[in-house]
Amino acid sequence: MTPRTFSESEYCHLKRVSCIKFHPTKPHLVAMSMIEYLKFSERAAITGKSFDSNVLIMNFSDSHIITLSHVLETPIEISTIEFHPENPNVIIGGCLNGQTIIWDISCIDLRVTASKKSSGEDQFGGDGEDFTAASAEVDDKQ
Amino acid sequence: MKNLTYSNINVSHKNFVGDIVFIPPTINVDKRAPSEGKYTHFISISEDGIVNIWDTRPVSKE
């Protein structure tokens, strides 16, 4: 048995993995959260600041090639992740600044497709609408 | 994929979150609103020495 390697330049370059979790019902899916690889002094200098990070969900179902099934965006780096045991589409993350963050990977409204991401500010209005919808839900929960 | 929501910074931890665990439905956390056999609460722990228990159900406005 030889180890299978996965290399990816856009999301994994110069990052370390802070947490890795299996999907509760689909064991071929693995979620891992990426953190910038920094020394303590560098980390202390930027503490409390937010910069974009990602949680990757990888698909191991193919025996030859490992693919990315989802990329979850986050404004703050994630230190730990957990799948909801009953509804595995819901993932909860714990951030480095102490906040908790929730994703729903079945929700189509919040999905950012590759074409939408690459085209610049024209599409930004649509994203903004999604974001206000999300913030309205936050208000409901308070 | 964007996030659905995140917690209010005023009630969140003040340091990084160490772990998150869901509370099994057999344990009754909230006396007034029992879980009824569902995973409704999760615990988060942090370096600041605080353990937070979160309710994932939507709050009904009055």
A55: exposed, middle or buried (Cβ count in 10 Å: 0-12, 13-18, 19+) = buried
pLDDT score, position B60: 67
- pTM value is 0.72
pLDDT score, position A68: 83
Residue with tokens 């009824």: B36
- Asked if A138 and B46 come within 8 Å (Cβ–Cβ), the reply is no
Alpha-carbon distance A91 to nearest alpha carbon in chain B (angstroms): 9
Q: What is the pLDDT of residues B21-58, one digit of tens each?
A: 888 888 877 777 777 778 888 898 988 888 888 888 77
What's the token pair of residue B49?
């020495």
What's the token pair of residue B24?
């099994």
For chain A, the average pLDDT equals 75
ipTM surpassing 0.90, yes or no?
A: no
- Residues in chain A where the model's pLDDT stays below 50: 115-138, 141-142
The contact set of A with B (CB < 8 A) is 70-74, 79-82, 84-86, 92-105, 107, 110-112, 127, 130-131, 134-135, 137-138, 140-142
Q: A65: number of CA atoms within 13 Å, CB side?
A: 4
Question: Where exactly are the structural domains of chain B?
Answer: 17-55
pLDDT score, position A110: 62
